[in-house]
Amino acid sequence: MAERNGNSNVITREYLDSLLIETRYMNSTNPDTGMTLYGEKFASPIMTAALSHLDHFMFDGATKQYAEGAARAGAILWLGMAEEAEVEMCVAAGARMIEIIKPYSDRDLIQKKIRHAEKLGLLAVGIDIDHPFGEDGSPDNVDGYEMTALTTEELRQICSSTKLPVIVKGVLSVYDANEAIDAGAAGLVISHHNNRIEYALPPLAALPEIKKAMKKEVPLFVDGDIKTGMDAFKALALGASAVCIGRPLMTAIKNDGAEGVAAYLANANAQLAKAMAYTGCYTLDRMDPTVIHNGRNL
């Protein structure tokens, strides 16, 4: 196992693996993994994560294969920081898509990207709230773009500026969850954004408290070392509406391109279906947090 040293990804993996599942076979039946999100139906709550710059550090065409793989699997495609042409290419691949927008200091750029997303008919847009600061707490700078933390009022203006659902990504506290909901967020991504800060609370540790304390019910999404259908099941049982898989799909793209992505997502959904059948949680609205136990307490 990797050295901890405060690495939030390692801590999150340890926490995920500590969660154990009890079985409930009586009165169970064949599972249905289908879900409805923002008025549209999908075959699985397992989605891609909002990866960025795949063509930069993998190979030219990796982003296109990522999108094509999601489309073949019927999965929702999340995409991170991207230029307009890249977003258009992903839409052309056929996947329903959610674009995550950075907290650009140039707030007009945020609006420009939202207008582009509206034009393309995306399923939703999202705003990173956890990417305003660099390693020393100064304003972050990504690809020459300076970032600035959003205020609740600014987020309210963003949410009210579009008919698209606005999802807030990078929530890891009841405080941020309720500030986002007050501002009109239509969904939250519980995430520490791939170890943005060391010693971060694992998303699944934060999820139940956030769900319980939310001022208004909105879809809750989880990312952070979700690798398998069993990981997905644990998140869904604890209150997530859907989950995002990221880094394993990068390996799938590298090895087998779009087909590898589609196959990985299909296999993860099969694992999820197995867990649902074995626990009596045979539809997403029957998910029950009491089937999950923290093995560290046993």
- Residue ranges per structural domain of the chain: 31-297
Could you tell me if residue 224 is left (phi over 0), alpha (psi between -120 and 50 degrees) or otherwise beta?
left
Average pLDDT over residues 49-64: 94
Kindly state the tokens that stand for 28.
């169970």
**So what's the pLDDT on residue 120?**
98
Average pLDDT over residues 60-69: 97
Average pLDDT over residues 178-197: 95
pLDDT reading at 1 higher than 60: no
With b for 16 or more beta-carbon neighbours within 10 A and e for fewer, the 275-286 pattern comes to bbbbbbbbebee
- 197/2: higher pLDDT: 197
Average pLDDT over residues 217-242: 97
| Cα 216 versus chain centre, distance | 20
Share of the chain above pLDDT 70, in %: 99
Strand (E) or helix (H) holding 115: helix 107-120
Q: Are 164 and 117 in contact (CB under 8 A)?
A: yes
Task: Encode pLDDT of 269-286 as tens digits.
Answer: 999 999 999 999 999 999
Determine phi and psi for 39, rounding to 5 degrees: 85, 0
Under the banding of pLDDT at 50, 70 and 90, the label for residue 221 is very high
CATH number of 31-297, picked from 3.40.50.720, 3.20.20.70, 3.40.50.300, 3.60.70.12: 3.20.20.70
The residue type of 105 is S
pLDDT reading at 49 higher than 80: yes
Contacts of 234 (CB under 8 A, 6+ apart): 16, 19, 21, 204, 292
The residue type of 171 is V
Q: Are 258 and 252 in contact (CB under 8 A)?
A: no
Spatial distance between the Cα atoms of 51 and 189, rounded to a whole number of angstroms: 14
Tell me the pLDDT of the chain averaged across its residues: 96
Average pLDDT over residues 126-132: 95
**So what's the pLDDT on residue 3?**
63
Closest by CA position to 171, among listed 105, 222, 213, 239: 222
Spatial distance between the Cα atoms of 147 and 113, rounded to a whole number of angstroms: 15
Contacts of 117 (CB under 8 A, 6+ apart): 87, 99, 125, 162, 164
Owner of token pair 């898509």 = 97
Determine phi and psi for 174, rounding to 5 degrees: -60, -35
pLDDT reading at 195 higher than 90: no
pLDDT reading at 297 higher than 90: no
Could you tell me if residue 78 is left (phi over 0), alpha (psi between -120 and 50 degrees) or otherwise beta?
beta
Positions marked active-site? 193
Spatial distance between the Cα atoms of 161 and 115, rounded to a whole number of angstroms: 9
Average pLDDT over residues 93-116: 97
**So what's the pLDDT on residue 2?**
53
pTM for the full predicted model: 0.96
Average pLDDT over residues 212-240: 97
Spatial distance between the Cα atoms of 223 and 47, rounded to a whole number of angstroms: 10
Spatial distance between the Cα atoms of 266 and 204, rounded to a whole number of angstroms: 23
Closest by CA position to 180, among listed 141, 154, 145: 154
pLDDT reading at 123 higher than 50: yes
Q: Residue 5: helix, strand or coil by DSSP?
A: coil
Under the banding of pLDDT at 50, 70 and 90, the label for residue 91 is very high
Distances in Å between the Cα of 139 and the Cα atoms of 100, 104, 105, 134, 259 are 19, 10, 9, 6, 39
pLDDT reading at 64 higher than 80: yes
